[in-house]
Structure 1
Amino acid sequence: MTTTPKHDERIAVMTFASVYPHYITKVEKKGRTKEELHQVITWLTGFNDTTLQTLINNRVTFKSFFEKAKLNPDAHLIKGVICGYRIEEIETQLTKEVRYLDKLVDELAKGRKMEKILRSA
């Protein structure tokens, strides 16, 4: 399933700060921690906690968020379906990167082992 230009634009202008609290709620509801969430975000983006907080405070868009990120070279190993889209079939790079993050958060919330989430095992 391919994304539409309208869908891609909606993701691009959405702020990371508007979604971040939902990530926290999702993982904590399933017994995981904010620290584990930050570990996953750091693995994908290279952002440390200070940079992440600055980006949240500045209410950057996902477009800006991922422009500033240094995407993990193993991010391409993130595969599967998230939000109705097969990640490896998404053509728009930004949308793919946002779905990478969504998939990692989903795996964390589902109780997957951290080494599997971080594609190190």
Structure 2
Amino acid sequence: MAGHRIFGTSFATIYSLYVKKVERKEHTQAELDEVITWLTGYDESGLQKAIADGVDLETFFAEAPAMNPNATLITGLICGIRVEEIDDPLMQKIRYLDKLVDEVARGKKMTSILREPAPAR
């Protein structure tokens, strides 16, 4: 069975939409890059290379240096679906990123967006 068509969408296209979204809400591209880096492990040069090379979302996430282990702490609704209940691993990663971008655009504190596990008791 073929994957969802979003999987073949270029990361550069999605990235430019994310930039417009956060800037429209008076936030910065630097904040966007920070959450992408936190989630995927890409550094600035790796992120720019993925954009320049026109990689699709499937490749972008497949080649991510290190998905953040705290990504599983991302919960809530995106497009009416709970991100923690998405079965397809790639779609879940895409929706994790969508959720983080929404939180940046809404002005949530970066310390809250970059989830840290609760301290052990």
Q: Same fold by TM-score, threshold 0.5 exceeded?
A: yes
* 1:84 to partner: Cα distance: 2.2
Report the equivalent of 1:39: 34
Question: Where in structure 1 do 4 or more consecutive aligned residues deviate above 4 Å?
Answer: none
Q: 2:16 and 2:110 mapped to 1: Cα distance? A: 21
* 1:80 to partner: Cα distance: 0.6
Q: TM-score, normalised by structure 1?
A: 0.91
SS at match of 2:26: coil
Structure 2, unaligned runs of 5 or more = none
- Mean Cα deviation higher: 111-120 or 80-89: 80-89
Report the equivalent of 1:61: 56
Structure 1, unaligned runs of 5 or more = none
* 1:15 to partner: Cα distance: 1.0
* 1:56 to partner: Cα distance: 0.5
Q: Deviations over 1:31-52 (max 9, x none)?
A: 1111111000000000011110
Match of 1:16 among 11, 34, 38: 11
Q: 1:12 and 1:118 mapped to 2: Cα distance? A: 24
Match of 2:93 among 89, 93, 97: 97
Q: 2:24 and 2:4 mapped to 1: Cα distance? A: 30
Report the equivalent of 2:106: 110
Q: 1:80 and 1:34 mapped to 2: Cα distance? A: 23
Identity %: 50
Q: 2:10 and 2:74 mapped to 1: Cα distance? A: 23
**Pairwise CA RMSD:** 1.4
How many correspondences in the alignment? 116
Q: TM-score, normalised by structure 2?
A: 0.91
Q: Relative contact order: is structure 1 or structure 2 higher (C-alpha 8 Å, sep ≥ 6)? A: 1
Report the equivalent of 2:80: 84
